Structures are given as C-alpha cells and as structure tokens.
Amino acid sequence: MSIYLRSRHIAPSALTTKRPGTNELWFGGNHQINAGSRQELLVQLANLKNAVETGQVSLSDNAPKSHEEIAALKSDKRSYFMSAYRDRTGATWAETGAVIGAEVSQTALRDGFMRRFMIRADIPAGIVRVRLKVPNVTAVVASGASQMWPQLVHGYYILPPEFYVKANVRIEERDIFQGSDDLLDDAFALCQEQIMVEEDRVYKRALDVTVGISNPQQLLVGGLTPSSIAALRGAILNWGLAPQNILMASDVWGDIVGNAAEWGNLFDPVTQFEIIQTGFIGTLLGLGITTDAFRVVTQKVLNAGEVYCLASPETHGVYTDRGPVAAIPKDSYEDGVPARGWSFWELISVTVANARSVVKGVRS
C-alpha cells in the first residue's frame, strides 16, 4: 500500500528527468545535483525550485520515471481505490485511512518545520509537563490551532495544554463513479495539508508572537545579505544562546542565488538529493539554511520576505504528540451529502519555550 502514497506525485522524479533544453539529468547517478561550480550549483538549485513549483518535476524519490509509468501508476491507484470502496466489510477502507495517517506522520517528521526545529518530549499518560533548560524566560504556548499567548516562566517546568489538529477528508460518490485516477492522491494531499501544514502554521504563529518580547523584528534593507545574517545571528548570541538554523521564504532564497559573488565562499550549498528533499539547502556562517522553496504551493506557510533565525532546539522549543495520526472512516450521508472518507486527528502541544531563541527578519 505504501507505494500508492509515497508515489503520489504524478510529475516525473527529478532523479530521472533531464533539465529543460539539455541532455543532462538534474541529478547524477550518485544523487548529486549536476553542476560544475559553486555558482552553477546555486543557479541549478534555483532552476530546480522553479521546476518543482510549476509541477515539471517531483522531489519524491519514488515518483514515476516516465509518462508510461505515470499512466500505469494511475491505473493501479484507481484499481486499489475502487477495491477499497467496494469492500462491503469496510476493512480495506479503514486500512486505507490508517495508512494515509501513518504516511502523513512520517512525512511531517521528515519535512515539517515544527518537528525539525523543536525537541520532541516523551510524555507518559497524564498531564503534559515540559522541563525547561533556561528558566526565567518568556515562553509562547499554543492553546489551540489558532490561539497562543506569551507566558513568563519563573521555574523549570511549564504545563502546555494539548489540542487537536484535525483533517476531514471526503470523496463524493460522483467523483468515484466518474472514475478519476487521482482520488487517492487527493485524499493524501488533503490530509497532509490539514495536518503537517497546520502543525507548521501553528509553529510559525508562535514564532511571530515572540517578536518584540526579547528581540525586535529586523528589517532586511536591500534583501538578505551576509551582514543581515550576521545581525540576526548576533541577536541570539547576545543572550548567550547558540544560533543554529535559518528558516526563509522561497523569495528570499533568490537573494543568495542572484548575488553569488557577494556571498562568495560563505554559503556552502548542499548537493545531495535526499537532503534537498527536506528543504535544507546548505550552511552559512555555521547556520543551517532551510527554505519552503521546494514545497508545492499548498504546503507553503511562510509569507514573502520572512526570515527566522533560531537557536538550537534544546534551548528553543518543545512539542509533544500522543502518537501518529489516527484515522476513522466517516461519511456525510446523514448531512445530505453523498460522500465517504475519513476523519484524521492527532493530539499535540507546541511551546516556544524561550522567546530569546527567535529573531525574525523581513525583507524590504
């Protein structure tokens, strides 16, 4: 079953696709992007971003390799989906929902910003209690998917509330009867957008609430430059913390690509396909640089021009969850809508435990 979800992208994989106008693949046999110099590498990364955003190629390593494989994969997916739909016991339909939920959990763990930049706390049954390594700070606690507030922490523990992140996916009978080949893809995409993307939106809102508590927002006049990166980094260093990551919107990445000479040897871009998949594009002044440039449009959470400098996860923030995304088969017949699907949910908490660990910059 996993092949149906992991291969959800109908665009050919960048691993096996030639760059437009050339006979050269995007990536070589060693999964390294094909580029002859650092400057060319930056250009190719920018071109790859555009190709992914426009749907020309996919960064899924299990995406189909040709148009023939795309057609065969669509046929297989439709056959599986129709088999699940016709299973009168409902067992295959329930199993399909469970696999979608598990796959969304794995994808969020690998690609989600919240899960990458924060520490996951193991919690027993009972109330969530998070131990802080830096006391006497202001934390930002999410009390729901759209609610959060700053909280002055005097001791070593904080008790963040847990809340649900939910996704309700329905497929109309009309679409099932008309025989679309993309129904399984659409169900997975909708669940991912409502779970993983919502996690990242909650995390971003928490980052925005920290602005002005300990660090003012910085205006990146003239765009992102080595000096503006140094200023963001310095604001965290001044608190005795270790800056570790930069999270930037896709348009800000253009400041690096468009002025390779200014960046010189300061920026060390990555070349490995498996790393680029996650949005990690290199290191700069000892900071890991991550962007949402390689996400499809519906999964982007950053606004144009936004840049966040973050301290190491140990002094930055904590999230908790009660296990992978759960799925329960549901329908909407009683509401007068002939549709079937699943309700997905997870129980999490999100705490940016130290407002000093975040500096936000906005590109002017």
User: What's the rounded mean pLDDT across residues 48-68?
Assistant: 73
Per the structure block, which two tokens stand in for 16? 């096996």
Give residue limits of the domains in the chain: 2-363
Return the structure tokens found at 99: 């696999």
pLDDT, position 157: 77
pLDDT top residue among 147 and 15 = 15
How does pLDDT run across 99-151, given as a tens digit for each residue? 899 989 988 888 899 999 999 988 877 788 777 766 667 888 887 777 776 77
Question: In the predicted model, what is the mean pLDDT of residues 252-267?
Answer: 78
Give residue 3's pLDDT: 41
The pLDDT score that the predictor gives to residue 229 is 92
Q: Is the pLDDT of residue 64 over 80?
A: no
User: How would residue 348 be classed by pLDDT, with cut points 50, 70 and 90?
Assistant: very high
| High-pLDDT (> 70) share of the chain, % | 90
**What ranges in the chain are assigned the alpha helix state H?**
2-6, 38-53, 67-86, 91-111, 113-117, 173-178, 183-209, 226-237, 250-257, 260-263, 273-276
Give the per-residue pLDDT at 276. 83
pLDDT in tens, 221-242: 888 988 899 999 999 999 999 9
Q: For 161-192, how does the pLDDT look when each residue is reduced to its tens digit (9 = 90+)?
A: 899 999 999 988 888 777 666 788 888 888 99
Mean pLDDT to the nearest integer, 340-359: 94
